[in-house]
Amino acid sequence: MSPSRSLSRRAARIGLCTAVACSTLALWTVPSGGATEATGVPPAPCTGGEGVLTVEEQRIGLPLVEGGESAAAQFLRAAGFEDAVTAFTDDLCAASTLVEVEQAAARHGEALWELAVARAQGEVQLGTIDRYDDRPLYWARLHMTRAVRQYEAPFELTGIQRNALVHVLDRSSRGITTVAWPEDAGDARRVVISGFDTYSLDASLRNSNPSGATALQLDGRRLETEDGPVVVQAVVFPVNWTDFDQGVVEDAFGQVLVPGEDRADLIMTISQTGRGRMDIEQWAANARGGSPDNNRNTLFGPVSRPSHWPQPFDSPQWIETTLPYQAMIDAGTGPWPVVLNDGICEWPAGTFPTPSAVRCQDDPSEGSTAASGPGGSYLSNESMYRSNRLRIGLQAWDVPGGHLHISALEYPADLAVLTSPEFEADRKAVVDQTVALVAAAGAAS
């Protein structure tokens, strides 16, 4: 785990001042005004190369409606994150060695995460959009990774090195490299949770993910409960199969599951489900159903195994939740009902992969092959499966783990607007209920 972090210290490392440290200035100041180019933040002089962009990065220039301004540009301006991107590209262009670029990627990635957390928790007053909004972080990160892919280095830079730089920047901007318990945690229960990026962006570029918003609200927080304090660390996962194959889930949770004084008391993955539901998933399935990710990749079959973390000798087909689900249900949170969600689909023993053999029922049968869990066969299910397969591999038997699916949101009828008071109130209600459920789980662990 990393040393305990400080927003002001992160800012000082890149020569900037924060509202926390200086009381009057934000980590990156709000732009003075003026339109942003249709492609988002204007590219820096050193980022005019012809690097191959991901599908996610190619969406930066797309508008919410035909003829409109780039959605990404609107989100960055509304949150005051434009200068965060510019500060990174300025350092990128000033670098003369690979080491300097690597350091800039890690430094600015962590600073972007810390800024997003501070803004979400009201420690920094920046921009005009609601502080519960998770979308500016997503689009700012993509601006920065795009810059690395198109970076014209003044030194030899191989494709492998460029991809490694993107990896450093991406992971550091997700909270993964700054997981650390506060020095004054004492006897507080220690909880690590994960949320997700926004997704289904081909349907709408203004999609938000309340699980990512929850992560920003909870990272570094101390929650007071009747059963004692709960301290929380949080990360946000990408919605991409390739990142999961690379071990992003294991890298996030492994550092708090290894034996030692930093081991967590509870882990919980969180994602978005249907409207009006808060589901504690009873099972995680060793299955990928083939739904497209944010880069439009599709994968079908069992969950891959990372080579750099301990795993059970045989990956189990099913892993049952060990979260204190009854305490979460009994906590009386609202506005949405909280239930233990069962119901799986499987190939009975000896029938995989015959399509007509798939059966759906409450619980798995002996020797079956997983087709989908109660929470499906997408990356939400896989986040639960991977984190708890790792928990088993590290023999963290005393650490409860599982997955919480939280309610989807309702968006403004006008497709050209980013947000509305009703939308913001809806998201806040979902996120605040999720925070209360995390507190209830932590207190019962």
pLDDT for position 174? 99
**Domain carrying residue 308:** 183-444
Domain co-membership, 147 together with 191? no
Q: Check pLDDT > 70 for residue 326.
A: yes
Residue 40 and residue 23 share a domain: yes
Do 162 and 191 reside in the same domain of the chain? no
Tens digit of each residue's pLDDT (9 = 90 or more) over 265-318: 999 999 999 999 999 999 999 999 999 999 999 999 999 999 999 999 999 999
- Is residue 313 assigned to a domain? yes
Structural contact between residues 70 and 39, judged by C-beta atoms closer than 8 angstroms: yes
Q: How many structural domains comprise the chain? A: 2
Q: Is there a domain that residue 395 lies in? A: yes
Average pLDDT over residues 108-118: 99
Choosing from 129, 151, 177, the residue where a domain stops is 177
338-341 vs 278-281, strand pairing mode: parallel
18, pLDDT greater than 90: no
Sorting pLDDT into bands at 50, 70 and 90, what band is 39?
low
Residue 7 pLDDT: 47
pLDDT band, residue 354 (cuts 50/70/90): very high
Alpha-carbon distance of 306 to 263, in angstroms, equals: 20
User: Measuring CA to CA, which residue among 381, 388, 355, 352 is closest to residue 368?
Assistant: 352
Residue with tokens 């909880």: 191
Q: Is 228 within the bounds of a domain?
A: yes
Mean pLDDT in the chain?
A: 92
CA–CA distance, 362 with 320 (Å, rounded to integer):
13
Residue 2 lies in a domain: no
Instruction: Tell me: pLDDT of 30 over 80.
Output: no
Alpha carbon distance 327, 5 (integer Å): 31
What pLDDT shows up at residue 93? 98
Do residues 103 and 122 both lie within one domain?
yes
Residue 250 lies in a domain: yes
Q: 59 pLDDT band (50/70/90 cuts)? A: very high
pLDDT value at 13 more than 80? no
CB 231 within 8 A of CB 188: yes
The pLDDT tens digits for 216-261 are: 999 999 999 999 999 999 999 999 999 999 999 999 999 999 999 9
Interval 192-213: pLDDT, tens:
999 999 999 999 999 999 999 9
Residues 128 and 119: their CA atoms lie apart, in Å, by 11
Question: Which neighbouring-strand residues pair with 289?
Answer: 300
Where a domain ends, among 153, 177, 201?
Answer: 177
Instruction: State the SS3 of the chain.
Output: CCCCCCHHHHHHHCCCCCHHHHCCCCCCCCCCCCCCCCCCCCCCCCCCCCCCCCHHHHHHHCECCCCCCEHHHHHHHHHCCHHHHHHHHHHHHHCCCHHHHHHHHHHHHHHHHHHHHHHHCCCCCCCCCCCCCCHHHHHHHHHHHHHHHCCCCCCCCCHHHHHHHHHHHHHHCCCHHHCCCCCCCCCCEEEEEEEECCCCCCCCCCCCCHHHHHHHHHCCCEEEECCEEEEEEEEEECCCHHHHHCCHHHHHHHCCCCCCCCCCCEEEEEEECCCCCEEEECEEECCEECCCCCCCCCCEECCCCCCCCCCCCCCCCEEECCCCHHHHHHCCCCCCCEEEECCEEEECCCCCCCHHHCEEECCCCCCCEEEEECCECCHHHHHHHHHHHHHHHCCCCCCCEEEEEECCCCCCCCCCCCCCHHHHHHHHHHHHHHHHHHHHHHHHC
348 belongs to a structural domain: yes
167 and 200 share one domain: no
168 and 200 together in one domain: no
Residue 43 scores a pLDDT above 90: no
Q: Residue 1 domain-assigned?
A: no
Instruction: Tell me the CATH number at 221.
Output: 3.40.630.20
For the stretch 375-390, pLDDT in tens is: 999 999 999 999 999 9
Residue-wise pLDDT for 131-154, tens only, equals 999 999 999 999 999 999 999 999
Q: Are residues 244 and 172 in the same domain?
A: no
Do 317 and 383 lie in one domain? The reply is yes
Q: Are residues 188 and 316 in the same domain?
A: yes
Out of 118, 152, 177, a domain closes at: 177
Are residue 24 and residue 118 in the same domain, yes or no? yes
Question: Whole-angstrom Cα distance, residue 43 to residue 34?
Answer: 16
Q: What is the per-residue pLDDT for 50?
A: 87
* Same structural domain, 103 and 238: no
**Domain match, 206 and 258 both:** yes
The rounded distance, in Å, linking the Cα atoms of 163 and 149 is: 8
pLDDT for the residue numbered 148: 98
pLDDT in tens, 60-101: 999 999 999 999 999 999 999 999 999 999 999 999 999 999
